[in-house]
Structures are given as structure tokens and as C-alpha cells.
Structure 1
Amino acid sequence: MPDFDISAWFEKHKPEIPPGGIPADGDDEVWILDNTAFRASPNDPWTAEFVAAYFRHNTDTREKVTAAISALMEAFGLATDDEVTAERIRQRLDPLMRAISSNMTVEVAFDPNHESGSQLHLGPSDGNGISSQILKVPVIDPTTGKSPMPGSGPIDVKVVQPQVESANQTSPTAVLETGRMFLAEDYGWALISDLDDTAKISCVNDHTELIKNTFVNIPEHSPGVPELYRAIRDAVSSEQHPSPFFYISASPYNLYPFLRNFLRDKNYPAGQIILRDMSWHDIHNWYSRHADSFLHTIPVKNYKCDRFRKVASWLPNTTWVCFGDSTQSDPEAYAEFYHELVAMQKETAASPSHQSTVPGPAPATTGTVKSTGQKTGRVARIYIRKVVGVNPELEEKLNQQKRFDDAFDGIPKDVWKVFEHGSEIMDDVVKMKEERLALSKIHAEERARTGGTVPESHPPTSVNPDAVHESLPQKLMDSFRELLNK
């Protein structure tokens, strides 16, 4: 590795946190991160977690960026007159060099195509320059006078008072003053994906390549994965009810512009990017997680499981498709997520508050059936990309079949799969579509029998459920029949 300690350099040059307590003005930079709105039923208003990042421009930022560019280019033996590479490094490093602003607030408004009852007040920001709040979305569709339907999203969320650079277009991140709010109905399907070495080639187990792929190189997508994700989106979504995508990474939020542009440029399905709420003040914690030790993946596993629980709490009746890789603890984290949802189903099924007697004529079976309050969220698929050729010594341990068998112990074999190229699991996309149609039918029948309202996101289909069931895995088919017979 080149004789350049990037974590020590960041620690030495990190900016001071200025005093806050004031609304962001034209001299501040505010990012409104893309988010996902959710609701308990189609008749309820939307709710969303609004996350904003606040920065204060300081006079020596450009000097620090220039020094960092020179250090990186020299460390990797790059030509000092390579202006294209230098500009690419500058855009990656610039968000890391800015002084974060604590105790800051900002006002945001919504897309003018939707009438808004009021603006939203975000903040104050914490010590990492981040504010995070779950708020009701004051947006009404002007054509219906009701909350907008999922198919009408995403909706733009804009800073009311833009920064000075927005007008002059001198800041590469000025565009982040406008975030996108995706609308996700429950009872559908959703995808959770890791980013580093799952969607993007990062080489987290090689420190030199990790630095180059983060700050220097043009980013590359994992082979066959963008095409696979688009196929899954088309299989489990409809135009009126698109399935949400969540991209979860343990990287600091300063890399948000880089990762957002990467997903757009590589034609990945649009979705919410969830990053760690830490700044470069915690650069040692971020950097050390990539050390050549499997023990360093434990904090990352805890972080990811916490984020899985968060998005699952927003959409408690959603079916999840999960993607990760073998470099860290994704297999173990997704296995824990799977078992937690199974336990939640059993717990709510056994609770008297989640059972009700069907009114009217007696059904074919006796006893009780689950009410519409039943949490039916489940993990339908777990896919792990096996990373090879980066750190052979470490991969010999991380890619052992026993590691995957142990991680997914107790999980049906048809739920999880290890792959290297996205094309290896394209055949599963057809099965996902069949399962979606079958679940739509079951949800409609179940809610109709209990006197509930069929979710608009899953209207009854004309597909013969028996024909669909024949192509489903046996265990899943048995669970469907058990559900219908209760």
C-alpha cells in the first residue's frame, strides 16, 4: 500500500464545528436526502423520515481539497497534470472537507405539482451535522383532493431558501437541495441491497483498492446486478404501485453524492440510500471496519440489522428480497432479519388482539382467523454475491460453504443463494412474479373474509391461484394453505 495514511490525514485536517442555533441561510449547504413515505392503510396520510445534512462553507476548504488531491495523486503515482482525475477526486473529497453544522434548521416545501398544506421545519442538526425526524407529509393530490397514490411519486422535497451556489451552479452538490420522496404502500414487495461489493465494486478487503475505488477510480457496478435489479423491480411492481428499493451501507453520509450519482449513472432502480449518521470526525471507525479481520464486521452487522428493523417497521406486511455480499457480515445480518420476521409473525398470530371471529355465516373452518392487524412481513429471498480475487487469503475463510450453511441454518434452501454474476439468478425473477400474484390473491381473500378492506396496492387478480401455487416452493405453498384454512 502507498505510504499515505488517509485516516490520519483526515483526523489532522478535520474542521471545527461552528456554533449553531440558527436557520440555514444562503451561505450554508443543505442536503435533503431521498426518503420513502409509508402509511398504515390507503386511507391514511403519508408519513416519512426526513433526513437533512448541514454544512458551513469555510474559507480554507478549497485549500484542504487541493492538498488532499495532490497527496492522493502522488500516493498512487498519477500524473499531476491529469485534470480529469483531479476533478473527480475533488468532487469525492469536497463533501468530506466541509465544516459540518450542528444545531441548524431548514424549511422545505414540496413539488408544486402537489398542493401542500404547509412547509416542513427540519432540524436541529446533531453533532454530526444531521437532522432526522419522522413527520406527517402535508401533501394533497390536487386532482383528487386526497393523499397522492404511490404511482404518482416520487415527489420533490426542496429547500425553501437555496444556497448561493445553486444560482451560480458552482457547487457540484447544489442539486442535493432537492430530495426525492418515494411512496411505498404496505402489503407489497421491496428490495434491500448493500452497496459496497454488492452493487458497486469497492474491494473493501483490500485497503489500497478501497481508497482508489472510493476517491480516485470511475466506479464500476457488480457484473449483471443492475440488470437483475431492474428485472426484479418489473416483476414485483406495477405502474400504479412501484416497489420501494432501499440501499443500505455502513459508509458515512459524506459519500451520499458519490453513491447517489453511481446508482443513477449505472441505471439501478431509484431508491432510498441509507448511510451511517457519522461524519469524518469518526473516520477511524469508518476506515477500521475494512480491516482484514472478520471481527471488524460485528459493528457493521449490528448497524445493518438496526436499519433492517427500521424499514420493516415502516412496512410491516411487506415481502422482502435481500442482497448482500460475502466480504463482511451480510449473510449473518440477513439471517437474523429473516428469523426476527418469522418470530414476529408467530408472536402476533398468537396474540388475542390480532385475532377476530369472522362475522356472518360460519366459514368452512372453525375457530378464528387473523385480523387485518396481523403482521405478515417476511423475507422471501436472500442473495449473497461471492466476492473473489480481491483478498484470496481472507476469501478462503469468508467464501467457505460452511460459513453460508452456518449463517442460514434453519432457513429453507430455496430462500437463500450465493452467486457471482447477476445472470445466475435471473430465473428466480419469474418465480418472484408468480409469488407476488399468489400473495395478492391471498391477501385479497383473507381481508375480504375478515371484513377488512383489500389493500389497493394488491387488487384481486384474474390469475388462477391453484395454477400459480403449483410453481411455488412446497413449504411456501403449504404455508399459504395453512393461512387460508385458519
Structure 2
Amino acid sequence: MSSSWFVVLLFIVFIANIESQLIHKLQDKMKKVATQNLGVDVARFDHEEMMLFPNVGFQRKEGDWRLNLHGWRFQTSKRNKVLGESSSAAAQRMARFLATSEQIVYYNDTFQRDRLKPFMVQDEKYEKIHIMIGTKHNYTTKTDGEGQFRTSFIIPNADVQNLKQTVNNNQVIGYKAIGDNADVWQGQIHLLERHGLSVISDIDDTIKISEVVDKIRLVANTFIHGFRVVEGK
């Protein structure tokens, strides 16, 4: 019973997302017809966004650098916002109804809709993304069936050193990702030297408190409470 409402929450989000996907496919067909037959520029009506995840670049034994990029292209709409708000309200009522007296203390706040937002968007599949690293390196990649792109590029060491001078932190360089609507998004690549010590860690219960062993507390810490840092020892 303790995790039943969690399943219901996922079901609500799943159904809303399926419905949104069907409508999105219909919209794509209508936009294609409008573009090809009527010459209408429909790109300006899209509300597309891009999330660029923290990326890492490694210096290879040859001396040059392999820069890894990972991003997510998706579309939002006013309708999805309404779905997110209704799903959030339903989830809150369901959680308070199913939670035990010991667990109810975790629901003294409302669901933060900005954290539900990634579950209420439409992936932009097979869309071209233009990548600009500095002024000399331009590339084109494409999103996959989930709206994400993962790619890497080999950049000469001299160019990387020049790019490092343009930011305050000389272990980070910036890049731009440009969507098909000419919208520009800024990303960062953290550079790892061939010699030295770097730590790559999980987040849950190592950096932030998630309490993954308790599903009720896990969801509360993810969607309701402010993030809390795990204290060091």
C-alpha cells in the first residue's frame, strides 16, 4: 500500500504523455502540410527547448581532446502545462490519501511543478542540432528517438587551450547548440587532464539526500522538498 500511490502517479503521467504524443503527431502532420502546400513558416509557433547536460572532455594520449556532448531537445506547450498542473494536483491528493500516519509528514508542502515538467514534454525526434565549439569547430548532429543526442568530437590541444582562456575556470570550455528554430543554448564541457585525480559520483544519497530505500520518501525528496546536501564526515 505504501507504494501504491507512486504507481498511480506514474500511471497518470504515462497516460497524459501518451495522449500528448498522439496530439503532437497530428500537429506535426498539419505543420508539414502547411509548410509544403501553403508555404507557411510554422517554426515560429513551436515552443521548443533544449537541456544540455554536464559534459566531460578527455585528453587522449595523442595530445588532442575528445569532447563528449549530451543534450535533450523537447517541446512544451500550454496544454502540457495544464496537464502537468492537473497531474500534480491529482498526485498530491493521491499521496495524502494513501500515505500512512508516519509518512504523511513528508507531504507538508506542494509538488514542485518545475520538477514534474520533464515528464510532461514531447521529445523532438530526429531533429538536426548544430554544434559550435569556439569559432573554428562547427558540427551537425541529430537527436534520436527519445529526443536526445550523444556525440563526441576530436579537437586539437592548441584550440582547447585557447578556448580555456575565454572562461574564468580554465578547466571548463563553452559551446553552443542551435535548434532548427535558430534558438541558441549554451553548454559547458568539463576538461579532465590525463594526469591527476577526478571523482565521478552518483547523486542520490551521496551528494543529495534522496532516501532511495523508501519509495514514499524518495518521491517526496524528489518532487516536493528542497534539495538537501549529504553532510560530509
TM-score, length-scaled by structure 1: 0.36
What's the CA shift for 1:163?
7.0
Change (3 A) 1:39 1:198: same
> Is residue 2:10 matched to residue 1:7?
yes
Residue 134 (structure 1) aligns with: 152
Cα offset, 1:119, TM superposition: 2.1
Residue 213 of structure 1: which of 218, 221, 230 is its match?
A: 221
CA distance in 2, matches of 1:121, 1:139: 21
2:177 is matched with which residue? 159
Tell me the matched-pair count: 199
- Determine the structure 1 residue equivalent to 2:91: 72
- Structure-2 separation of matches of 1:95 and 1:163: 20
In the TM superposition, residue 36 of structure 1 has moved relative to its aligned partner by: 0.9
CA distance in 2, matches of 1:118, 1:108: 8
Shift of residue 32, structure 1, vs aligned partner: 1.8
Would the alpha carbon gap of residues 140 and 97 (structure 1) be closer, same or farther in structure 2, given more than 3 Å must change?
farther
Choose between structure 1 and 2 for higher RCO, CA contacts under 8 A separated by at least 6 residues.
Answer: 2
Task: Give, in whole Å, the separation in 2 of the partners of 1:208 and 1:60.
Answer: 29
Higher strand share: 2
Q: Can you list the C-alpha shifts for 1:215-241, whole angstroms capped at 9, x where unaligned?
A: 1111212122xxxxxxxxxxxxxxxxx
Q: Against the structure 1 CA distance between its residues 68 and 137, is the aligned structure 2 distance closer, same or farther, given a 3 Å change threshold?
A: farther
Change (3 A) 1:139 1:66: farther
* Alignment CA distance shift 1:62-1:10 (3 Å): same
Larger Rg: 1
Cα pair distance change 1:193/1:205, threshold 3 Å: same
RMSD: 3.6
Structure-2-length-normalised TM-score: 0.71
Measured in 1, the distance between the counterparts of 2:90 and 2:112 equals 11
2:82 matched to which residue of 1? 63
- Cα separation, partners in 2 of 1:162 and 1:128, compared to 1, 3 Å: closer
Corresponding residue for residue 35 of structure 1? 55
Aligned identity (percent) is: 20
SS in 2 for 1:213: helix
* Structure 1 pair 36–3 and aligned structure 2 pair: CA distance change class (3 A): closer
Q: What's the offset of the Cα at 1:65?
A: 0.7
Measured in 2, the distance between the counterparts of 1:160 and 1:11 equals: 29
- Distance in 1 separating the partners of 2:176 and 2:144: 21
Maintained 8 Å contact 1:45/1:147:
no
Cα deviation digits, residues 142-189 of structure 1 (max 9, x gap): 9x7x6748962311222335979x8xxxxxxx9xx3221111111221
Q: Hey, what's the Cα distance between the residues in 2 that align with 1:130 and 1:68?
A: 25
Deviation (angstroms), 1:141: 5.1
Deviations 1:201-221 (A, max 9, x none): 111111111111111111212
2:125 counterpart SS class: coil
Which residue of 2 is the match for residue 184 of structure 1? 192
Amino acid at match of 1:99: Q
